[in-house]
């Protein structure tokens, strides 16, 4: 994430020109370069003819028909199915596994008869190997009684002669990618001056007064949601969607690279960064796939400052959550202090963006 982005959205300033990631503006931002949505089940879902941009962001919504295990392929001119990929990643917090001289990038999805959601980034310089990083989540068994799965990975496509112009999913199990599977590719380049940013700002909340809850208020329903929250004070961040306080959440969390913890049938998420005794500030970044008829899958990352000063390392958390609602889209987000000894201070913030 660029310094310019943080300057614009969190009020940081050092005299540099800022980049607006929400709707409007004239200095660029993430623009949609291509999208493929399957109209019938198939073995792949690929976006082609991508414009050459320095950086890409991708969102994938993998719908299952039978047992699926989905992975990534790239290409220039056409999809590359040669042994030109290498990847490293982890599933559910287990030790890293590697795949070398492979014909695809292992997404680190667990695989099974359920859907999946991933968010990732690509560095695209024609003369260098293309580097990727991504995070995935899957609901596992439906319902809040089962924790979702999570995967994280990095990879490279070893082409050093051309920029990429193809990206997509390939299914490698016995099933198919079902109707509605979608791949969206966004691009960013320093030279961009468009005003058609993919991410539309849906909520901007500055608390002003110390509080236990930061509420987005009602937001426009969007398929893809990106949110960021900053909390000041000795607090721990959890969230709810649509103010639902029933036992309809299940989470999987990893703190500081340890063993994953799972939480089922909860009244809110359980993805907070824990372990400190004097947390002074915390920051959370998250993405939601928000299909009305599917469980809502959420990928989050948090950092907590713990004790002020460079003598104490911060605390990190990687988490996934599912909201086991299959009838409506999320139209609000609540950030809660859970387990801290204070309230969110006056400088605390919540920003929410979305797109269909």
pLDDT band per the 50, 70, 90 thresholds, residue 25 = very low
User: What gap in Å lies between CA 347 and CA 356, rounded to an integer?
Assistant: 31
Q: Averaged over 48-74, what is the pLDDT? A: 95
Q: Are strands 182-188 and 31-37 parallel, antiparallel or unpaired?
A: antiparallel
Q: pLDDT tens digits for 152-178?
A: 999 999 999 999 999 999 999 889 999
With 50 as the cut, is the pLDDT of residue 15 above it?
A: no
- 65 token code pair: 């028909």
> Could you count the other beta carbons within 10 Å of the beta carbon of residue 221?
16
User: What gap in Å lies between CA 347 and CA 233, rounded to an integer?
Assistant: 9
Class of domain 200-355: mainly beta
Query: How confident is the prediction for the chain on average, in pLDDT?
Result: 88
Q: pLDDT tens digits for 326-355?
A: 999 999 999 998 765 678 889 999 999 999
Query: CA triplet 115, 119, 121: central angle to 5 degrees?
Result: 145
pLDDT band per the 50, 70, 90 thresholds, residue 96 = very high
Instruction: Give the Å distances, CA to CA, from 312 to 144, 191, 280, 281, 309.
Output: 36, 39, 12, 13, 6
pLDDT band per the 50, 70, 90 thresholds, residue 20 = very low
With 90 as the cut, is the pLDDT of residue 111 above it?
A: no
User: What gap in Å lies between CA 18 and CA 29, rounded to an integer?
Assistant: 10
**Domain range summary for the chain, segments of one domain joined by +:** 3-188, 200-355
User: Phi-psi category of 353—alpha, beta or left, where left has phi over 0 and alpha has psi -120 to 50?
Assistant: beta
Q: What was the pLDDT predicted at 307?
A: 77
Q: What was the pLDDT predicted at 279?
A: 62
pLDDT band per the 50, 70, 90 thresholds, residue 92 = very high
Q: Averaged over 295-312, what is the pLDDT? A: 89
Cβ density class 301-335: b for 16+ within 10 Å, e for less: bbebbbeeeeeeebbebbbbbbbbbeeebbbbbbb
Higher pLDDT, 266 or 340: 266
- 314 token code pair: 């911060």
DSSP class per residue in 164-212: --EEEEEE-SSSEEPTT-EEEEEEE-TT---S-BSPEEEEEEE--S-BS
Please tell me the pTM assigned to this model: 0.90
- 20 token code pair: 């607006």
């Amino acid at each position: 994430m660029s310094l310019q982005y943080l300057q614009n959205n969190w009020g940081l300033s050092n005299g540099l020109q800022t980049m607006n990631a929400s709707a409007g503006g004239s200095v660029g931002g993430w623009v949609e370069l291509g999208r493929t949505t399957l109209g019938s089940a198939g073995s792949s879902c690929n976006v082609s003819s991508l414009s050459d941009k320095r950086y890409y962001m991708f969102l994938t919504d993998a719908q299952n028909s039978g047992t699926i295990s989905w992975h990534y392929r790239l290409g220039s001119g056409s999809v590359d199915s040669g042994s030109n990929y290498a990847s490293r990643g982890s599933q559910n917090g287990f030790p890293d596994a590697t795949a070398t001289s492979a014909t695809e990038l292992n997404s680190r999805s667990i695989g099974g008869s359920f859907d999946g959601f991933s968010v990732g980034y690509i560095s695209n310089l024609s003369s260098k190997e293309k580097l990727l990083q991504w995070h995935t989540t899957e609901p596992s068994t439906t319902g809040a009684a089962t924790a979702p799965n999570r995967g994280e990975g990095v990879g490279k496509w070893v082409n050093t002669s051309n920029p990429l112009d193809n990206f997509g999913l390939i299914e490698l199990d016995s099933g198919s990618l079902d109707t509605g599977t979608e791949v969206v590719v966004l691009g960013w380049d320093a030279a961009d001056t468009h005003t058609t940013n993919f991410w539309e700002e849906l909520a901007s909340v500055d608390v002003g007064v110390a509080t236990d809850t930061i509420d987005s208020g009602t937001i426009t329903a969007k398929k893809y949601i990106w949110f960021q929250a900053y909390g000041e004070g000795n607090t721990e961040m959890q969230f709810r969607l649509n103010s639902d306080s029933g036992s309809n959440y299940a989470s999987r969390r990893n703190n500081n690279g340890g063993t994953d913890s799972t939480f089922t049938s909860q009244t809110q998420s359980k993805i907070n960064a824990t372990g400190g005794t004097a947390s002074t500030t915390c920051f959370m970044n998250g993405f939601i796939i928000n299909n009305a008829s599917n469980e809502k899958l959420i990928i989050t990352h948090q950092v907590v400052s713990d004790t002020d000063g460079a003598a104490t390392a911060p605390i990190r958390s990687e988490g996934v959550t599912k909201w086991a609602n299959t009838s409506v889209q999320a139209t609000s987000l609540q950030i809660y202090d859970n387990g801290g000894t204070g309230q969110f201070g006056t400088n605390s913030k919540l920003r929410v963006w979305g797109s269909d």
